[in-house]
Amino acid sequence: MFQASNIGHENADTHHADVLVVGAGLAGLYILYSLRQRGLTARAFEAASDVGGTWYWNRYPGARVDVDSVQYSYNFSDELIREWVWTEKFASQSELLRYINHVADRFDLRRDIRFNTRVTSAVFDENANLWSLKTDQGDIATGSYCIMATGSLSAPFKPNLPGLESFGGDCYQTATWPHEEVKLSGKRIGIIGTGSTGIQAIPVLAEQAKHLTVFQRTAQYTTPARNKPITVEEQREFNSCHAEYYNKVRHTFSGVTGFPIPTKCLHEDTPEERLAYFEKRWKEGGMLQSMLGTYTDININAKANEIVANFVRDKIHETVNDPEVAALLAPSKDLPIGSKRLPIDTDYYETYNRKNVTLVDVRRDPIEHITPTGLKTGSAEYNFDILIFATGFDAMTGALLAIDIRTESGARLQDLWSQGPDSYLGLMVAGLPNFFIINGPGSPSVKSNMIITIEHHTDWIMDLLDYVSVKGFDRIEATKQAQNDWVEHAREVAEATLMPIADSWYVGANIPGKKRVYMPYFGGFDRYCKTCDEIVADGYRGFTLSRLKKTKNSSNFAAE
């Protein structure tokens, strides 16, 4: 049966492994490592030509991490921790990719990965208790378990602007930036999008471009990164306290440490005290939490939030010379700071003081269509040699729903998620046995340090696989009730905050027709870990664990 399906694909492969893995980014690699540690066999598929995930694809100028590199590192191997030295506080994409390649080489992980291969379907045969993956290369792989390590921000979104095919210059999307060098120097460049990606790319593009035109639809808040080199001594010092760090980080809200945890509400300080505090934190810059982590109530109290937002607005007006441009860059009053992901930047607002940079407000004057030489808005025409889309992703669900995921008895992920991406803990979906997601909707994932949640989820799944193996079970399923309760809890937690207000990718508002649901879990990584631990202590509460047995009167198998 397998061979017949492989016809037409010369290099097609059939494979059986204990566990199937989709994706070879930071999550996929750690899963492969963990499975091997347990003596389980694995087969991974990766659409890219090599490892790296996000850091393989997002090669745009200025791409770098926004969590301290020393904390955006794996924690599972003391040797790895000791031997790797980061060169910058916020590592560049190329350094991150070198690190990931180093990990893949060091632990010999590539041999379980089939590259240049996109998984197209994943089907569970209840009778055989097997997942079966098919790929665009004609491969078929079967395994008892399937783990999706497909990334939260891995399905790039490009708006369907009329006339795009007529553009005569070069067109790039940041999330699929070419591997070859792109000549930017002396070019007229247009860029659409001012999210985290645009905000990182714009200052770097401006340095090289003859002229850069930025098309902004929504003004974003951003705060300075204050990136700087890391010395070998600083890395050694961090490493020397690694155990302490790792213990501490698991008790934090966001999976990141190294900044003062807020203890007071904003109104407990006088206006002068908080201004002084904001200034201090602004100067320190750095991690995402630099402004949002100043007081306890910024994410939940609109008045407190507005005071921080106003501080950033004032900074924009102080920094940008032209008051009209500053006004355009200042986010509107109805956008709470932090409700869209807060980027950190290097000279973003300063860039608008350059003579070779123009900001165009496409909310007021929307893009009508792309022309052979550039772009036309309602009232003006702009010409450039290069057009760049920094227009984001179909986040959290896009990569999963692009695969036909279902059971043979007819449960389909597309249907299960038609009213929103329900899951239990972000790890499993009721109706899809033996199927796990890393950093799925309903997990702290994108509201946390991703590598920390990757390690947490993987360890948790591995412990569960160990448990079922010892107990003689071979089927794991989240119950509908446990899933409903989790979804309701996650909704309540999010709705008690200002987070769902913005039209952000967190709620799917950037994707036409996507159901509006606040997708990540915003109850905190610490609380999430505690809940996961309690569920284990209660004998995997909310999961049905069972074992296949042959029924007396039939050759079929049934779960008991």
- The residues in 17-46 that bind ligand N01, with binding defined as CB under 6 A, are none
- The residues in 462-481 that bind ligand N01, with binding defined as CB under 6 A, are none
Distances in Å between the alpha carbon of 195 and those of 214, 328, 364, 494?
12, 15, 18, 22
> Is residue 297 within 8 Å of 304, Cβ to Cβ?
yes
How far apart are the C-alpha atoms of 253 and 229, rounded to whole Å?
27
Binding residue count for ligand N01, defined by CB under 6 A: 25
* Closest distance of CB 219 from ligand N01, Å: 9
How far apart are the C-alpha atoms of 385 and 156, rounded to whole Å?
22
Of the residues 315, 341, 457, 475, which one makes contact with ligand N01 according to CB under 6 A: 341
Nearer CB in complex with ligand N01: 348/505: 505
* Closest distance of CB 398 from ligand N01, Å: 12
Of the residues 69, 148, 510, 543, which one makes contact with ligand N01 according to CB under 6 A: 510
Nearest alpha-carbon partner for 50 in 28, 78, 67, 71: 28
Q: For ligand N01, what does the binding mask look like between residues 376 and 415, x meaning CB under 6 A?
A: --------------xxxx----------------------
DSSP label of 499: G
Tell me: does residue 192 bind ligand N01 (CB under 6 A): yes
Nearer CB in complex with ligand N01: 200/257: 200
Of the residues 65, 122, 191, 451, which one makes contact with ligand N01 according to CB under 6 A: 65
* Closest distance of CB 206 from ligand N01, Å: 17
Nearer CB in complex with ligand N01: 200/290: 200
Nearest alpha-carbon partner for 69 in 95, 51, 50: 95
Tell me: does residue 258 bind ligand N01 (CB under 6 A): no
Closest CB to ligand N01 belongs to which residue?
195
Of the residues 74, 145, 435, 505, which one makes contact with ligand N01 according to CB under 6 A: 505
* Closest distance of CB 174 from ligand N01, Å: 6
Nearest alpha-carbon partner for 25 in 62, 71, 66, 74: 74
> Is residue 50 within 8 Å of 197, Cβ to Cβ?
no
* Closest distance of CB 151 from ligand N01, Å: 10
How far apart are the C-alpha atoms of 395 and 338, rounded to whole Å?
17
Strand runs labelled E in 126-218: 130-135, 140-148, 170-173, 188-192, 211-216
- Beta-ladder partners of 191: 214, 388
Q: For ligand N01, what does the binding mask look like between residues 273 and 312, x meaning CB under 6 A?
A: ----------------------------------------
Q: Give 3-state DSSP helix, strand, coil % of the chain, rounded to 5.
A: 35, 20, 45
Nearer CB in complex with ligand N01: 62/138: 62
Which helix (H) or strand (E) segment holds residue 81: the answer is helix 78-83
DSSP label of 197: H
- Beta-ladder partners of 478: 543
How far apart are the C-alpha atoms of 220 and 468, rounded to whole Å?
47
Of the residues 15, 16, 217, 267, which one makes contact with ligand N01 according to CB under 6 A: 217
Tell me: does residue 337 bind ligand N01 (CB under 6 A): no
Of the residues 6, 150, 200, 448, which one makes contact with ligand N01 according to CB under 6 A: 200
Contacting positions for ligand N01 (CB under 6 A): 65-66, 153, 159, 192-198, 200, 215, 217-218, 341, 362, 367, 390-393, 446, 505, 510
